[in-house]
Amino acid sequence: MERVAVETRVLSKNEECAQANRQLFKERGVVAVNFMSAPGAGKTSVLEKTLPALKDDCEIAVIEGDLYTTLDADRMHSAGIPAYQITTGTCCHLDARMITRALDEFPLGDTRLLVIENVGNMVCPAEFDLGEDFRVMVYSAVEGAEKPQKYPLMFQTAGAILLNKIDLIPYAGVSLEELTANVRKVNPKAPVFPISCRTGEGIPPWTNWFRELVLGLQ
Ligand code: MG
């Protein structure tokens, strides 16, 4: 019981902070998108493929969440995109207060699209609202077909689901149909985009859709 009470308090404190972030984004005309996945599903690679397609339309900034390293922010800088790294130490997710604090040191300026790359983890990040407008989940084809059933919350709260690494499907003992059907069982609504960041397959339909979404939310 006590554990439930503590979790409830932590989440409601987070919700207050998330609402403040949401209000700030609204006032500043910023669309905030939270990218989530298990470790290694390819969030950073997805951003490297996606964000250049929007660079001419709006100012983009990225907040990266990672336990220890600045490697992902370094990759964003290499792609010419301003990025700020939050290192969470032992904390396995970002929370709303971490975003508030990051924005003290990384002001929004003219940013119109704020991308948040969460810590790689299929469980906790889904429980913490950051004040974002939209969630994207990256699910890679090599993680096993049963993940939507085992970890439904992240799939259910995502507004779009990217099925990444489809070039590896022949080696993974799964089919695209099975992966898609399992996603659909827990989230029948969100569009599912099969992609491969390595080969580029499926990237244009996804980036076109995402671009329309972001411009429509602004
Ligand atoms: Mg990453």
Quote the ligand 1 centre to 23 CA distance (angstroms).
27
Between CA 181 and CA 189 the distance in angstroms is 12
Q: Which residue has the tokens 């990217």?
A: 162
Domains and CATH numbers, the chain: 2-217 (3.40.50.300)
Q: Is the pLDDT of residue 3 over 90?
A: no
Quote the ligand 1 centre to 5 CA distance (angstroms).
32
Quote the ligand 1 centre to 2 CA distance (angstroms).
34
| Per-residue pLDDT tens over the stretch 121-164 | 999 999 999 999 999 999 999 999 999 999 999 999 999 999 99
State residue 36's pLDDT score. 98
The helix/strand/coil state of 22 is helix
Which residue type sits at 139? Y
More confident residue, 7 or 212: 212
What is the rounded average pLDDT for all residues in the chain? Answer: 96
Residue 188 token pair: 């029948």
Between CA 174 and CA 176 the distance in angstroms is 7
By the 10 Å C-beta count (0-12 exposed, 13-18 middle, 19+ buried), 24 is classed as middle
Tell me the angle at which helices 203-217 and 43-50 cross, rounded to the nearest 10 degrees.
Answer: 80
Quote the ligand 1 centre to 178 CA distance (angstroms).
26
Quote the ligand 1 centre to 4 CA distance (angstroms).
31
Output b/e per residue, 77-95; b: 16+ Cβ within 10 A: eebebebbbbebeeeebbb
Q: Is the pLDDT of residue 1 over 70?
A: no
Taking the model in full, what pTM does it have?
Answer: 0.95
Q: Is the pLDDT of residue 78 over 90?
A: yes
Residue 202 in contact with residue 167, Cβ under 8 Å? no
Reported as a pLDDT band with limits 50, 70 and 90, residue 8 is confident
Quote the ligand 1 centre to 81 CA distance (angstroms).
15
Quote the ligand 1 centre to 139 CA distance (angstroms).
13
The helix/strand/coil state of 175 is coil
Which residues, in sequence order, are CB contacts of 46 under 8 Å at separation 6+? 35, 138, 162, 164, 195, 197
Reported as a pLDDT band with limits 50, 70 and 90, residue 9 is confident
Quote the ligand 1 centre to 46 CA distance (angstroms).
9
